[in-house]
Amino acid sequence: MRIEARLRSLEHGTCLPAYEVVLKAVKPITGVCLHLTTTDVASQAHWIGAIEAMLQRCGVKPIDHLLVLHAGCEDEHTPGSVEIVVPVEARDATTLITQSEGRLTRCELPACPRMASTFHHGHPSLAPLAYHALGTWMEQNAYTIVGSRRKLRLRRGENLDDALTEIQFPVEKLA
């Protein structure tokens, strides 16, 4: 799939994207989450669709973008687990947990004073380029990863070539 997306970008005359990495603080996030024991992208897409349908049925609007939290420092090709997190108000969390028959749980992600972040605009299969840019930036600036990776789905429609994802890693300066 990555090769097909890269070929499409070459056909359209686009070159490899440039990634700007920034260091920023992020606020704590409260909401509901679904824990998956697979990092399979198709499975994630299925459950994200189911959660979005439930939000619509319950009349709940997220207070921020849905995100996918990857445990540890695993990459997309390493077996592991992910959590799909939907930031919502506390009262809405209770409604969603009840409607999901316990599949969704309440979650709180702590604030992070230093988050290395970049945006990936394009097909998700080309996101490894963004991860490479983040890794290079961390190495050049002497930072190390200290927590779970986050992917915020900022824009995702039927045309995956127009998807916009923010990729974040909590970091700290090496001594």
Q: What is the CATH number of the domain that holds 72?
A: 3.30.70
Number of domains comprising the chain: 2
- 168 and 152 in a common domain: yes
Q: What is the largest CA-CA distance in the chain?
A: 50
- Model pTM? 0.81
94, 109, 124: which is the final residue of a domain? Answer: 109
Q: How far apart are CA 30 and CA 171, in angstroms?
A: 21
Q: Express each pLDDT in 21-80 by its tens digit.
A: 999 999 999 999 999 988 777 888 889 999 999 999 999 999 999 999 987 644 444 557
* Nearest Cα residue to 50 out of 91, 42, 158: 42
- 130 and 158 in a common domain: yes
- 105 and 125 in a common domain: no
Q: Which domain holds residue 96?
A: 29-109
- 163 and 124 in a common domain: yes
**Residue 91: strand, helix, or coil:** helix
Burial of residue 118 (number of CB atoms within 10 Å: 0-12, 13-18, 19+): buried
Q: What is the DSSP letter of 63?
A: S
